[in-house]
Amino acid sequence: MAVREYEPNAVLSTKEFNVVGTRPVRHDGADKVTGRALYGADFAAAGLLHGKVLRSPHAHAVIKSIDTSKAEALDGVHAVVTAADYPDSGGDNAAKCMRDNLMASDKALYQGHAIAAVAAINAHVAEEAITLIEVEYDALPAVLTAPDAMKDGAPLLHETLRTDDLGETGDKTTNVAYHLRQKLGDTQGGFAAADVVIEREFNTKTVHQGYIEPHNSTALWNNDGRLQIAAPRARSQSTTRWRKRWTFPCRRSRSLRWKSAANSVARSRLTWTRRRRCCRRGPGDP
């Protein structure tokens, strides 16, 4: 059997680039293909609590009551949280929508909406605890497509939502949050000048990129007030914004991004060094 010699990919360009068309060395490649790479879910420490989330089985339902007493009484459960434990939004509808997206308060807005969460000594106890949480629902009509949700008379998710129609607030409640318009060129003129105009309507399923590791995070709140967060992200800006939102002093909190296998060791060290330099140092800080 003849062995075909390797042929590099053809680059249809007369200009040489520093990155495009090259084959840089992947320093993390060997660890990934041999199974030695460490991901966020591989992080472990003594005494960690494991969390599980109870989610709504309904696409649209009023939450009439939540009874967590049995879950709280289960041996090994350290905490049970619902939307009732969150700060009040103070009548701010936008803040309520953001808060309810984390954990449903009065209504479940989609199947899988988080209703309650449990922290326990291990994953098995946490899973058992969420089965002990009793939730009484009043199922409501649901719509499954965006066009159906936009129709007049469609079931409303948010009774206070009014459409922002090109900068003007609508006079009735709706499921449409915004109406924006982006215009470029003469579309009608282009259709008029075209030899053939074909109109079709296509429906596709939701598409999302595939990840090489699951979503997960680990938080360690030490006795000295430092909060450490291990998260498998290629960048740590989101963790930084979360820390600022909760107003942790920079010198008193440290966000640790777990060295993901998706990044080289050198890049992880560089990011950590930069973040340490930008923090104010206080008495006793390293």
Joined tokens for residue 170: 């609508």
**One pLDDT digit (tens) per residue for the chain, 286 residues:** 566 666 665 556 677 888 887 888 888 889 988 989 888 788 778 888 999 999 999 999 999 999 999 999 999 999 999 999 998 888 888 888 888 989 999 999 999 999 999 999 999 999 999 999 999 999 999 998 888 999 989 999 988 888 998 888 888 999 999 999 888 899 899 999 999 999 998 888 888 888 778 888 888 888 888 888 877 766 545 544 444 444 344 333 333 333 333 333 333 333 333 333 333 334 444 3
| Closest listed residue to residue 77, CA positions, set 155, 30, 131, 32 | 131
Question: pTM score, two decimals?
Answer: 0.67
* Paired sense of beta strands 227-230 and 218-221, if any: antiparallel
Helix (H) or strand (E) holding 285: none
Domains of the chain from N-terminus onward: 50-139 (3.90.1170.50), 218-277 (no CATH)
pLDDT for position 253: 35
Q: How far is CA 186 from CA 38, 40, 166, 182, in A?
A: 53, 50, 20, 12
N- to C-terminal Cα separation, the chain: 63
Instruction: Report the b/e string of 158-183 with b at 16+ CB within 10 A.
Output: beebbbeeeeeeeeeebbeeeeeeee
The whole-number pLDDT of residue 129 equals 97
Q: Who's near 214: CB < 8 A, 6+ residues apart?
A: 41
